[in-house]
Amino acid sequence: MARPNFIAVNLPVIIKTSGRDVRTIVQDTREDGFAVLAPAGEEVVLLPGEEILVVCNRQDARYEFATKVQRFVPEEPPLYYLAYPEEYRRIQVRSHVRARAALDVRYAPWPAEDWPHRPPRACARGVTVDISGGGAQLVLREPMVPGDLLYLEICLPGSRRAPLHLAGRVKRVAPREIDGERRYEVGVAFEALSERQEDEIVAFVFRRLLEERRRGGWEHGS
């Protein structure tokens, strides 16, 4: 079975099984299948022959497919080998509309060796400038480096859920003087965003845009 061209090493994926969404990452690709990092602890246990749903996001589209677990390799790191799908669904990513919003953010660098199963403790504080279903513009006290991964906790106004626990890849950094102090505008793209998380953010964005329109301040972003 041929390997779909969207499956590649270091691709973040979400495994949907037993009513749970579990983040992991592709570690290896072979002729007969691909390997994903086994979740830490007993977060999820997959059995050979078990059918699961896999979701992954690329810049151009979301891909969803059903596949079967081939085997578990309990080495370091522990891996699940999955079969390549016979068919998959490609969903065109909607253009991400941004809304201006000053939301409190807690964050911390997310080391590569801990991604995606061991999020750090988010102690530092920042604020968003805007947000969309694809990413956010943040104002932070510390400089970041493009390519860094951040763990983010963001509370959306009007949401009854706990803060969103997100991963954001730093895309750009610009120093700014704000109220006489050095700050950094940091653009991040969300990674391994679940469908529920994206829907929650998009719903907030459109509520905010509707409010702006009612006030006569309708604004678009891309």
Q: What DSSP string runs through 24-42?
A: EEEEEE-SSEEEEEPPSTT
In this structure, what token pair is assigned to residue 68?
A: 């079967």
The pLDDT of 1-13, averaged and rounded, is 87
The pairs formed by 51-54 with CB atoms below 8 angstroms and a separation of 24 or more are 52/15, 52/16, 52/17, 52/82, 53/15, 53/16, 53/17, 54/13, 54/14, 54/15, 54/16, 54/82, 54/85
In this structure, what token pair is assigned to residue 126?
A: 């920042």
Domain boundaries for CATH 2.40.10.220 within the chain: 99-214
Nearest to 23 by CA among 34, 33, 12: 12
Q: Looking at the domain that runs over 12-92, which CATH code has it been given?
A: 2.30.110.10
Backbone torsions φ then ψ of 74, nearest 5 degrees: -85, 55
Domain boundaries for CATH 2.30.110.10 within the chain: 12-92
Rounded to whole angstroms, the Cα distance separating 129 from 162 reads 21
Rounded to whole angstroms, the Cα distance separating 199 from 206 reads 11
The amino acid that residue 134 corresponds to is G
Residue pLDDT, tens place only, 84-140: 998 999 886 655 788 999 999 999 999 988 988 899 999 999 999 999 988 999 999
Q: 28 or 75: which carries more pLDDT confidence?
A: 28
Rounded to whole angstroms, the Cα distance separating 119 from 23 reads 11
- Bond preceding residue 111 cis, omega within 30 of 0: no
Question: In CATH, which superfamily holds the domain spanning 99-214?
Answer: predicted glycosyltransferase like domains (2.40.10.220)
Q: Residue 59 — pLDDT band, cuts 50, 70, 90? A: low
In this structure, what token pair is assigned to residue 41?
A: 């602890």
Residue pLDDT, tens place only, 173-198: 999 998 889 999 999 999 988 878 88
